[in-house]
Structure 1
Amino acid sequence: MKKIISLLFTLFVLSTLSLAGELDYLEKEKNSWLQVYSNQLKAQALDDEIKILEKSIKESWGKKKIELKQLLELQKSKKKILDELPQSFDTILEKITLEKIEEISFIEFLFTNQKSKFRIQTQRLSLLEEEFVHAVAFLEKELSLTIEQEAKEPAKEQQLQKALDFFESAAGLIENKKEVLKRTKQSYLGELETYKQTQLPIHIIKMAILLLMFFLFHLLKHFIAKKTDDVDRLLRMKRVLNITFFFIILLMLIIFNISNIVYAATLIGVIGAAMTISMKEYLQSVATWFHLSFGNFIKVGDRILIQINNNQMIGEVIDISLFQVTLYEGINNTTALDLKRSGRTVFIPNNFFVTNYVYNYTHDKMKTIYDLIEFRLPFDVDTKKVEELVNTVTLEAAERYMEVASKQFSSLKKRYDIRSREFRPRVHFVPDTKSSCFILYVWYAAPYHQIMELKSHLSQKIVKKLHENGVEFYKN
């Protein structure tokens, strides 16, 4: 009895394995419908075989059981691969789909992207319908040839007839899909027409109001520019107008969308988060612009030096805009000693003023700075005599700037808690660490816009005075 069961099982397995070869003619046609149908038949056959193998393993032992387990693992692997392929006509038609639009927007109305999607999906469905007709024609032809041949194949005839019946019952799926597409398109076009009659005029009025506000704002700026002669006052008024206009537009947008404020707030939040990540430098520049505009630590007309990546940039501020500060590079110690060129226009992003040191030569009313001249003198020089001579010459050249600096500093002292200072010349002798000599440092008050002129004039006078009094400079 056990031998009979084993024989019957072997015959079943062989018949099942031969099914793949019998279905090859379905796949040779390269038709998606036929391939899906073939996948379905193969999957059903493998499911049946796996169930019988699992039952037989329970009733077997020894070497036979091991062989059946190996065969079961092989068939499960085949089934796993087959499961990754489409096995239902529904999977083919699922790709023909459209997203449902809850509400028509102004952008959707202008560009009507959904219309092109309807056209694409209709074309895809037409191609699938043509493939379906070809599949049915192929099955009918195969059935006719199988019936007419001399060597009869009843199993194949039955299989083809069964396939034709299945395809005939599935023909309604395409018709249903066509009807769904048609109704969806009609509904969409109806919503577009409703939007055109109701919402579009309101949106046009809102846009017209915004454009009118924009025109009036620029007209007001032009009128103020004509009537205001003070440049600093004009710049401050323009800043105030820009900020006011921004908040008015923001308020109007909120009022326009007050009926859908939750959606608007969510959208603004998402856009804000994305902008914060992708436009970090720009947002930081805008925030710094507010600080520069109202912090008053630098303003248009100031001479500043900013250190960026160990590079010094110095010049007069000629513009402070939303994203950048513009400098005009003048002739000074830094450009003479380090850059060796001048007269360029330098554009610095505002965010650099947050992360770098900024030196202001003309903060508040303070328009003078201490400048330095260096000389090298031998160790045997009469330092007291040299100090008296240099002090006399320097005081004579810079005396009037000392008085100016003292007055300017008094204004600065009212604003900050700093002690009083004297702007007299300072003369220091410091031993040079590299050469056997003194370095003579001469500090003096100088106006920021005449640093190089005064340095040149004072250097000549000091050299001439020391030479007249027999003082020699250090020669290496």
Structure 2
Amino acid sequence: MKKTAYFIIGLSLLFSLLHAQDFTYFEKEKNIWLQVYSNQLKAQALDSDIKALERSIKEAGTKKKIELNQLLQLQTSKKKILDELPQSFDTMLEKITVESVKDINLIEYLFTSQKGKFNIQTQRLKILKQEFDDAVAFLTKELATTESQENRDFFKEYQLKKALDFFENASGLLENKEEVLKRTKQSYMSELEAYKQTQLPIHIIKIAILFLIFLLFNLLKYFITKKIDNEDRLFRIKRVLNITFFLLILLMLIIFNISNIVYAATLIGVIAAAITISMKEYLQSMATWFHLSFGNSLKVGDRILIQTNNNQIIGEVINISLFQVTLYESINNTTALDLKRSGRTVFIPNNFFVTNYVYNYTHDRMKTIYDLLEFKIPFTCDTKRVEDLVTEVTLEATEKYMEIALKQFSSLRKRYDMRSREFRPRIHFIPDTKSSCFILYIWYAAPYHQIMELKSQLSQKIVKKLQENEIEFCSN
């Protein structure tokens, strides 16, 4: 029984090899249609071989099964390689296609017209059709030559007749593809002509209107530049004109597309998104301006401190505009110790106030702050006596400001949940980590607009008072 099975397997493999050799005459012409047809026959033959081998492996013994498995792996590898090649006429014709255009617009009409694509695909289809006719002629000639031989190869005749029947049935594919391509082109050309007669003149008029607006605005800016000599005024007028031009163009685009609600809404959405991205800082500044103008956190006349790039800026707010806050830099400790200059005008974008801390010296009615004086005195001094002397001098110099601060703070407590507070001088003795002495900290109430003046007067009085009482200062 096993010998019979092996004999059948051997015959089937021998037949497949002979069968595969018979397919080679389809490739002699080097025609793409014949190559695809040959690939199809080879794939069918390999499928039959693989199925026959799989059945035989189930019935074969251990030793024979190893040989059959090796042969199965070989045939499977051939099949994988063959699968990468085209095996169907449909696959070849799928590449001959042009996507239909639903709506013709100005960009499609001017720049992405598909006339060229139709011409390319028509030429490709013409070449394929010529090769198809050449393949049929080759098969017909090969069949006539085979039939005229004395020793006729009946199997080859059968294969050639089968191939001719297959090509005859497949000729309809070319005719259908040619008809589809022709109808698609006719439909596209009709839509293109309809757009040319109806929509194109309207679009040309719209573009002409936009161009005219652009030209008028530039002429207006040119004449304004010639007439106005003041650079600041000229800059403001140009900025207003640019904003007006942008809004007018936006309005015209909406009006032009108002008939198409969906398109107009999409256009507005796209423009709004583009504006939001490109003018993010300006939009933030406008929103902040609204908050600053109608809120109560900051107003003209307030003294504020802001910190940018590790630099402190202290000044009085002299203007709050749509895009920026203007400060006038004041004389203070920071300008005296670090910058050595003051009195500059500082322009701060409004969006800065969204993500940064702002210290307001004069919020609501509160116009006083705690200021600090520092002295170094030795550990050997009588700190209680020093405290009494410093407190006496400080109270004398700042008593009137303490009463003012208390009244102002009462107003602030009405708006916020705050505990009562005394504005008496605060005296602290803190050991210095770098020298053998105390650092004397003196906190006292001071009006925001007289900080440096009061600091100067109080410093002189304290130094004089301590010297009169033979209190020494640390020199290091």
TM-score, normalisation: structure 2:
0.63
Map 1:23-34; keep pairs closer than 5 Å. Answer: 33=33
Contact 1:292 1:299 in 2 (8 A): no
Matched-pair contact (CA < 8 Å) for 1:406–1:423: yes
Q: Give the corresponding residue for 1:388.
A: 392
The structural deviation recorded for 1:45 is: 1.4
Q: Is the contact between residue 305 and residue 313 of structure 1 (CA under 8 Å) also seen in structure 2?
A: yes
Q: Evaluate the alpha carbon distance shift between residue 305 and residue 395 of structure 1 in structure 2; reply closer, same or farther with a 3 A threshold.
A: closer
Match of 1:126 in 2: 123
Structure 1's unaligned 5+ residue stretches are 220-234
Shift in alpha-carbon separation, 1:199–1:164, aligned structure 2, 3 A: same
Question: Contact 1:39–1:87 at 8 Å: present in 2 too?
Answer: yes
Residue deviations 1:187-238 (CA, integer Å, cap 9, x gap): 23433443455556777888869x98xx99xx9xxxxxxxxxxxxxxx9xx9
C-alpha spacing 1:206/1:123, structure 2 compared with 1 (3 Å): closer
- Quote how far apart the aligned CAs of 1:13 are: 1.6
Does the CA contact (< 8 Å) of 1:429 and 1:440 recur in 2? yes
Could you tell me which residue of structure 2 aligns to residue 290 of structure 1?
287
Larger radius of gyration: 2
Q: Secondary structure at the match of 1:97?
A: coil
CA RMSD in angstroms comes to 5.9
Mapped partners of 1:461, 1:67: distance in 2: 114
Aligned length: 436
The residue aligned with 2:472 is 472
d(CA) in 1 for partners of 2:127, 2:465: 107
Aligned to 1:87, the other structure's residue is in SS state coil
- Residues 399-442 of structure 1: CA deviation (Å, up to 9, x unaligned): 6x778867876775665565776766x24122225254332223
Counterparts of residues 309-348 of structure 1 (less than 5 Å): 311=310, 314=313, 333-334=333-334
Q: Deviations over 1:287-335 (max 9, x none)?
A: 6852552353346776544568x9465456777767x878887775456
Q: 1:142 to 1:168 in 2, by over 3 A?
A: closer
Looking at structure 1, the residues matched to 305 and 260 of structure 2 have their Cα atoms a distance apart, in angstroms, of 52
**1:20-39 CA distances to partner (integer Å, 9 max, x unpaired)?**
66656877998765553343
Shift of 1:385: 1.6
Secondary structure of the equivalent of 2:473? coil
2:120 partner letter = Q
Could you say which residue in structure 2 is the equivalent of 1:374?
A: 374
Kindly provide the amino acid, as one letter, of the partner of residue 393 in structure 2. Answer: L
Distance 1:141 1:81, change over 3 A: closer
1:226 corresponds to which residue?
none
Q: Name the residue aligned to 1:36.
A: 36
Letter in 2 for 1:387: T
- d(CA) in 1 for partners of 2:152 and 2:471? 127
Give the distance between the partners of 1:75 and 1:315, measured in 2 at CA: 86
The equivalences for 1:433-448 within 5 A come to 434=433, 435-445=435-445
Aligned-residue offset at 1:164: 6.7
One-letter code of the match for 2:428? F
Counterparts of residues 208-357 of structure 1 (less than 5 Å)? 253=254, 260-261=261-262, 286=283, 289-294=286-291, 296=295, 297-298=297-298, 304-305=304-305, 311=310, 314=313, 333-334=333-334, 350=351, 353=353, 356-357=356-357
CA distance in 2, matches of 1:30, 1:430: 104
Distance (Å, rounded) in 2 between the aligned partners of 1:89 and 1:431: 96
Q: Distance in 2 between matches of 1:162 and 1:151?
A: 22
TM-aligned CA distance change 1:87 to 1:422, over 3 Å: same
Give the 3-state SS of the residue equivalent to 1:438 in structure 2: strand
Counterpart contact for 1:139–1:160, Cα < 8 Å: no
**Separation (CA, whole Å) in 2 of partners of 1:306 and 1:24:** 87
Q: SS of 1:98's equivalent?
A: coil
